[in-house]
Chains A and B, each alone.
Chain A
Amino acid sequence: MSDIHALSGAYALDALDDLERAGFERHLAICPTCRDEVSSLQEAAALMGESLEMAAPAMLREKVMAEIATFRPLPPVVERPDVDRTVVPLRRRRLPALAAAAAVIAALGVGATVLRPGDEPAPTTISAAARVLDAPDAQKQTFRMNDGARATVVRSVSLKQAVITVEGMADLPEGKVYELWLQHGEEMVAAGFLPSGSDDTVLLTGDAASASAVGITTEPEGGSPEPNLASAVLLPFDEA
C-alpha cells in the first residue's frame, strides 16, 4: 500500500501538480475512503475561502447571465457504481468471436504491436486516463467477478477511449500477466495489460467507442496473439 492516501489534503487544496492530480484522481476512482475524506476536507478548505467576500464588479452579473443563456446545463451523471454485475466466465457463444479475433490477428501479424507495460511514457498514460475519467460523457460500470475481484470500466465515446480499474484480482504465478482486449463485432483486439496485476488503472489502447466489451484474460508474460479462452471474462459496455 503506497502513501497515496496522504495526498488527500493537498488534493482538497488543489496543491498537487497536474501529474499528481491525475494520479490521485485515478486513485479516488477506486478508493471510497479517500473520496469521503476529500469531500470532508473540501468542506474545511471552503471555510478558508468563504470569508473573503468582495463585491463583484457590476458588469460580471450581466456577462455571466448572458453567457449561461447560451449553454444548456449538462445532464446529471447517472451512476450505478454499486449495481455490481456478476461476471461469469466467457460463454460458449462468444467463442466464435474470439476465434475470429485470433484469426484476424494472426492474418495481420499484429501480435507484435501489443503494447507492453512501460512502452508508453507514464505521464501520457496518466493524463490520458484522467481525461477519460473527467470526460463529460464518461460512462462508468462496475463489475464483480466470481472470486470477489472488482473491475470498473469508464468509457468516453467522444474520446473513443476507455479506462479500466481493477481491485483485488488474484495474484498470478510468475510468468503470467493479465491481458486486456476490446471486442469489435466478431473480433477481439489486444488492448494492453494490467501491469501490476491485482490493483491497477489502465487506459485501454485502441478505439473503445466502437467496441462492445472489454475482455480480460490470463496470458504468458508478453501477451498472446490470441486470447486464452479458459481464463477470459467479458465486461460488456452499455449501449453508447
Chain B
Amino acid sequence: MTDPRPVAGVPQGTPATAPADGQAVLGELLRRSAKGEQEAFAELYDAVSGRVYGLAVRVVRDPAQAEEVAQEAFLEIWRTAGRFDADKGSPMAWILTIVHRKSVDRVRSAEASTRRDTTYHQHNQPVAHDATAEAAHASLEARRVRAALQTLTPVQREALELAYFGGYTHTEVASLLDLPVGTAKTRIRDGLIRLRDTMGVGGR
C-alpha cells in the first residue's frame, strides 16, 4: 500500500483495484495453486478470505449460509485456478466474480418463492444502509468506489446496488424501480461502464 490516492476526488485512469503489486502476488499464488501447492492456496486464503466472506455475507445475509458459499467458492477457486488468465483481468476480480455468482445462485435458490411473493417491495430501499454494510470495512479504496458511485445517476446507482448486492435480476430491478421492462439492463450497463471508466479499471 505505497500508493496513496486522493479520496474525495475521483482520479481518472488509476490502476486496478488493489495496488498492482498486490494483484501480482495474488496472480502468482493462483499460478502455484493451480499446480496443487496447498501452501500457496493457504496464503491466498489469508489474503482474500475477508473480502470473499464479506461479499458472501453482503449478498446472502445469513452468516451460516455465507460461510458455506465462501467454502464452495474457495473450492472452485482451487479447482479452476489454472484457468485464471491474467491477460483477461485481475485476480481479485476473478475471485470475486466466482464468489458473487455462487452467492447469487444461493440467494435465488434459497429464498426462491417467499422473497419474491411476500417481501418484494420491502426491499425497495437503497441497500447500502443495512446492518451488514455497517460492518463492512471502510477502506481508502472503498471510499474511492463510493465517490465513484456518487457520480452515477441515482437510478444507475440503485440499479447496480439492487443487482449486485441484492442479487436481483435486471427484470426484477426494473420492477423494483418502476422502470419499463428492458430499461434496467441499460441502466446497469451504463452505470457499470461509468464506474469502470471513473475507476480506470479493465482497460485494454
List residues of chain A with CB under 8 Å of any chain B CB.
6-10, 12-17, 20, 36, 39-57, 60-61, 63-65, 67-69, 71-77
Instruction: Give the CA-CA distance A213 to B57 in the complex, in Å.
Output: 47
CB of A64 within 8 A of CB of B93, answer no
For B202, list chain A residues within 8 Å (CB): 39-44
Q: Do residues A71 and B160 form an inter-chain contact, with CB atoms below 8 A?
A: no
CB distance from B202 to the nearest CB of A (A): 3
Chain A's closest residue to B78 (CB) is A68
5 contacts between A and B (CB under 8 A): A8-B189, A15-B185, A17-B169, A53-B139, A65-B41
Known contacts A46-B92, A76-B34, A9 near B51 by CB under 8 Å: no
**What is the distance, in angstroms, from A163's C-beta to the closest C-beta of chain B?**
19
Chain A residues lying within 8 Å of B51, measured Cβ to Cβ, are: 49-50, 52-53
| Residue among B18, B38, B79, B169 making CB contact with A69, cutoff 8 Å | B38
Complex Cα distance, B78 from A32, in Å, reads 27
A54 and B135 contact, CB distance less than 8 A:
yes
Contacts of A41 in B (CB 8 A): 189, 192-193, 196, 202
Given contacts A16-B169, A63-B71, 8 further A-B contacts (CB under 8 A): A10-B188, A15-B173, A17-B171, A43-B93, A45-B100, A46-B90, A49-B96, A73-B36
Mask, B61-73, CB within 8 Å of A = 1, is: 0010001001100
Q: Which residue of B lies closest to A47 (CB)?
A: B145
B40-62 with Cβ < 8 A to chain A: 41-42, 45-46, 49-55, 57-58
Question: For chain B, what secondary structure do more than half of its interface residues adopt (helix, strand, loop), or is it mixed?
Answer: helix
Partner pick for B74 among A6, A49, A68, CB 8 A cutoff = A68
Q: Within residues 76 to 111 of chain B, which ones have a CB less than 8 A from any CB in chain A?
A: 78-83, 88-90, 92-93, 96-97, 99-101, 104
Query: Closest CB-CB distance, A9 to chain B, in whole Å?
Result: 3
- Count, chain B residues at interface, CB 8 A: 83
Q: If A43-B201, A46-B17, A71-B79 touch, does A64 touch B192 (CB 8 Å cutoff)?
A: no
CB-CB < 8 A to B75: which residues of A?
A: 64, 67-68, 71
Q: A14-B167, A42-B89, A75-B82 are in contact. Are A54 and B189 (CB under 8 A)?
A: no
In terms of DSSP, what is the predominant structure of the interface of chain A? helix
CA distance A67 to B202 in the complex (A): 33
Q: Specify which of A14, A71, A74 is in contact with B104 (CB 8 Å cutoff).
A: A14
B20 contacts chain A at the CB level, 8 A cutoff: no
CB contacts (< 8 Å) of A13 on chain B: these are 100, 160, 163-164, 188, 192
In the complex, chain B residues 157-174 whose Cβ is within 8 Å of any chain A Cβ: 160-161, 163-165, 167-171, 173
Do A54 and B195 touch across chains, with their CB atoms under 8 A apart? no
Name the residue of chain B whose CB is nearest to the CB of A76.
Answer: B82
- CB distance B17 to A47 under 8 Å? yes
Per-residue CB contact flags for chain B residues 120-133 toward chain A (1 = under 8 Å, else 0) read 00000000000001
Q: Inside 8 A of B181's CB, which chain A residues have their CB?
A: none
Q: Which of A6, A40, A44, A69 contacts B185 (CB 8 A)?
A: A6
Instruction: Give, as a whole number of angstroms, the nearest-CB distance from A67 to chain B.
Output: 6
Q: Are A51 and B191 in contact (CB under 8 A)?
A: no
Give the complex CA separation of A208 and B199 in angstroms: 46
* Contact B33 A73, beta carbon cutoff 8 Å: yes
> Does B177 lie at the interface of the complex (its beta carbon under 8 Å from any beta carbon of A)?
no
Min CB distance B127 to A, Å, is: 11
Say yes or no: is B35 at the interface (Cβ < 8 Å to chain A).
yes
A7 smallest CB distance to B (angstroms):
6
Contact of A61 among B38, B45, B141, B163 (CB under 8 A): B45
Chain B residues, Cβ within 8 Å of A51: 136-139, 141-142, 145-146
Q: Give bound CA distance, A32 to B83, whole Å.
A: 18
Instruction: Report B-chain residues with C-beta under 8 Å of the C-beta of A64.
Output: 45, 70-71, 74-75
Q: Judge whether A72 and B54 touch: CB under 8 Å.
A: no
Tell me if B196 and A14 are in contact (CB < 8 A): no
In the complex, A68 Cα to B41 Cα: how many Å? 9
- Asked if B145 contacts A73 (CB within 8 A), the reply is no
